[in-house]
Structures are given as structure tokens and as C-alpha cells.
Amino acid sequence: MQIFEAIIGHVEKRCEAKGKRLTTQRKLVLRALIDANQALSAYELVDYCKQYFGETIQAMSVYRILEFLEEVHLVHKLNMSNKYIVCSHIVEGHEQGIPQFLICSKCNKISEKIVAPETITGLQSHARQEGFTVVSPQLEINCVCDKCGQ
């Protein structure tokens, strides 16, 4: 609980510095993602808040909250699964780069790393050469973690 409060205190200051507000419901959704320690869909968040915190929150509210949390770089949307995960850099004040997610296809363990800008530039250049425009440079790579591989 103390770790969550420290994270929320830091996040509130970051939001205030950007002219944004971390409302009670936004804190609830963020707390659920931190507490769950795994990627959750909006409907899984509704269930999680009800089951673990005794709080009822509407799915449409969760979607709006997730949009806000993504906008202020506190969570990431995993496009392959349509789920959300807390940014692993949530307490760091630096601007975010392009995230790469290694996702275990067996246990859903996720590791987030920031991709070097030159790697993304190279990928975008290659896409342009092939007649494509990169819409979202976020990388999501299906893997098997060492634990599941044994």
C-alpha cells in the first residue's frame, strides 16, 4: 500500500505539472493496473475494481480513464491483446521513447524496454521504401519466457 501511495503522489505531481488532474476514478484504475501487475482489458479492470477494491466503475468510464492515462504516459495499450499495462517508467520523469514489449505467449509475462531512436528510424525508412507508412512504431514481440520454456 505504501508503494502505491508513493507512486500516486509522484504521478499526481507529474499530472499537475502538465495541467492535468488525477481524479479518484483515475487513481482507482491506475491502482488496479499496478496491483494486478499484468495487462488487463477495460472489462477486466471493471471486474478487478469490483472484486479487489469493492468499487463499481462503468466500462465507458474505464475506457475514458485509460485514454487519459495513456495520453499522460502512465499506461500503454498492447494492441495485439487490446489490454493495458502500467508503464514500467511510471515514476521516472523522463519523456517516453518508443516502447518494445516482450510478451510471453504462455504466462503473459511482459517486459518493457525503450527502443533506440535510430532503430525506429530505420524501421520507418524501410517501411517507406516498401510503400508503407508506420502508424504506430510500438513493438510487441511474442516470446516464451525462460521459466515457461523449461
Q: 15-61: per-residue pLDDT in tens?
A: 998 899 999 999 999 999 999 999 999 999 999 999 999 999 999 99
Confidence (pTM):
0.88
Question: What is the DSSP code (8-state) at residue 90?
Answer: T
Q: What is the pLDDT of residue 94?
A: 56
pLDDT at 115 over 70: yes
Contacts of 9 (CB under 8 A, 6+ apart): none
Q: Which CATH code is given to the segment(s) 97-150?
A: 3.30.1490.190
- Outline which parts of the chain fall under CATH 3.30.1490.190: 97-150
The predicted-structure confidence for 67-111, as pLDDT tens digits, reads as follows 999 999 899 999 999 999 999 888 775 556 789 999 999 999 999
As its CATH architecture, domain 1-93 has Orthogonal Bundle (1.10)
Cα 21 to chain centroid distance, Å, stands at 18
Residue ranges of the chain that CATH labels 1.10.10.10: 1-93
Half-sphere exposure of 60 (CA within 13 A, CB side): 0
Buried b / exposed e over 99-108, threshold 16 CB at 10 Å, is bbbbbbeeee
Alpha-carbon distance of 58 to 46, in angstroms, equals 7
Helix (H, G, I), strand (E, B) or coil at 106: coil
